[in-house]
Amino acid sequence: MSRILAPYIKESKHGALFAWGTATSFQLGEREGGKTPTQVGQVPTSAALVATSNMHTVVVTGAGSVWTSGVGSGGRLGLGSNSSQAAFHEVHALRSLRVTWVAVSDNHSLAVIDSGAVFAWGCNRFGQLGLGPPGGKGAAAVGEFELAPRRLLLPTKTCIVSAGAGVHHSVLVS
């Protein structure tokens, strides 16, 4: 599943994560950036997939766990809070699942799991999470911001294999 999704972060042959450039939003998993590739040490297992935005980075390990770093406002890190993180932290809501694909925009993220289901988190101001428009009551209530991943309701027997995230929209491929 080696796929590079951003020009400034890459995967090595052994799963080590290297990053460079600006780190003003902690998006490199380090407090400071640089002009040459430097290994990022916080991801505890081999990195297999990475997706980045101006505000955050999402890493998927070979085992399918998800780790995020960057600006946390609006829930974009999926950690259950608005806190920013200079180091990578595991997205606990996805811990028991095997993620095979991620997509990020500046304000939201999507994760596809091995069964073809999709989880979304972050800003939903324009309905880009696929959870419906902000509003509603009770368990079906959808907020303007989802601080932790929520599973999308897809048509029966739909198996998603990849996803894309734009500023105000998302796209899935079955």
Instruction: Give pLDDT, residue 15.
Output: 77
Q: Please state the domain extents for the chain.
A: 3-173
Does 4 score more than 70 pLDDT?
A: no
pLDDT band for position 107 (50/70/90)?
very high
pTM to 2 decimal places: 0.84
CATH number listed for the domain at residues 3-173 = 2.130.10.30
pLDDT, tens only, 10-27:
444 567 777 777 767 666
Instruction: Give pLDDT, residue 38.
Output: 75
pLDDT band for position 115 (50/70/90)?
very high
Report the 3 state secondary structure along 88-155.
EEECHHHCCCCEEEEEECCCEEEEEECCCCEEEEEECCCCCCCCCCCECCHHHCECCEEEEEEECCCC
